[in-house]
Amino acid sequence: MLKTTHYDHITRIDLARTLAGRGRYWTTAYLVDGLLIDSGCAYSALELLAYLQGKPLSYLVNTHTHEDHIGANCHLQRMNSELKILAHPFALPVLAEPRERQPLHPYRRLMWGWPEPSKGEQVADGEMIRTENFSFQVIYTPGHSSDHICLYESEYGWLFSGDLFVGGRDRALSAGADIWGVIASLKKIADLPLSTLYPGSARVRENPGCELGEKIAYLEETGERVLDLYDKGWSVDAITRAIFGGPMFIEIFTLGHFSRRNLVRSYLRIQSNGATQHDEL
Ligand SMILES: [Zn+2]
């Protein structure tokens, strides 16, 4: 399913798998001045392709390589051999071999499906991507994933934040995400003069400064509580229950890939083998 919303210079394109006539598990792409930011999931690729037919397209930038942001890359590259796909250097191997580099849990296959391989070119932190009327600065913002970037148009104060900021008070985290990296990256974007924030899902925010500040404060305060209880000898499970309460449906649905426990472990920098980063120093 595909829905569009038009802003002054920007088209928001919401994309989702269609199940029983309804869109599920939405993610958002944006089209601005021949620049497409993200390409949705594999299930909505043909709808996006049809929507973009006949529209000028110079660049596709992937904010990161999660499957719900790169699903139509291959189709768009086939449709337009001139199209440049730009992403962080860490993203390029995943774009080239998504199945080998980013195995998908069953819930991710159900919600978003397997992307096909595409060929990306790297953009570095600080580099500018220029379209006819706008200039977008690449800002490296790891945490949600190690290959995450945001795009910033300084003259208009627009920030395309991918999955770095979608709002809310996090009670769970994906395995492999780094909550301290998320906080550092949020601080980086909160320092910018922003008029409008365009996230990779959820609603567009005007004047997002306060909301970004509140989110950073919430995440830091939560981290302090986690560390305090850990220092007092509490176990990960006990900390999880005390701070985030009882089980969440999403934990069962994702077989624990997205969980409260992962959030606590990330605050404690516990890696999947049970070691802490401190142990390895
Ligand atoms: Zn993501």
Mean pLDDT of 189-215: 96
Q: What percent of the chain has pLDDT over 90?
A: 83
What is the CA(279)–ligand 1 centre distance, in A?
A: 29
What does pLDDT average to over the chain?
A: 94
User: 3-class SS at 190?
Assistant: helix
What pTM did the predictor assign? 0.94
| Rounded distance between C-alpha atoms, residue 224 and residue 184, angstroms | 15
What is the CA(266)–ligand 1 centre distance, in A?
A: 16
What is the CA(234)–ligand 1 centre distance, in A?
A: 31
What does DSSP say about strands 11-19 and 258-259: parallel, antiparallel, or unpaired? unpaired
pLDDT of residue 278 exceeding 70, the answer is no
Q: Given CA atoms 5, 2, 171, 159 in this order, what sign does their dihedral have? A: negative
| Rounded distance between C-alpha atoms, residue 88 and residue 68, angstroms | 17
Q: What is the pLDDT of residue 78?
A: 95
Mean pLDDT of 176-203: 97
Which residues sit with Cβ closer than 5 angstroms to ligand 1, an ion? Answer: 66, 163
What is the CA(145)–ligand 1 centre distance, in A?
A: 7
Mean pLDDT of 246-268: 92
pLDDT, tens digit, for every residue of 37-84? 999 999 999 999 999 999 999 999 999 999 999 999 999 999 999 999
Mean pLDDT of 145-167: 97
What is the CA(158)–ligand 1 centre distance, in A?
A: 20
What is the CA(150)–ligand 1 centre distance, in A?
A: 12
Q: What is the pLDDT of residue 280?
A: 34
What is the CA(66)–ligand 1 centre distance, in A?
A: 5
What is the CA(281)–ligand 1 centre distance, in A?
A: 29
What is the CA(148)–ligand 1 centre distance, in A?
A: 8
What is the CA(233)–ligand 1 centre distance, in A?
A: 33
Q: What is the pLDDT of residue 59?
A: 98
- Listing DSSP states for 30-60 in one string gives EEETTEEE----GGGHHHHHHHHTTS---EE
What is the CA(220)–ligand 1 centre distance, in A?
A: 21
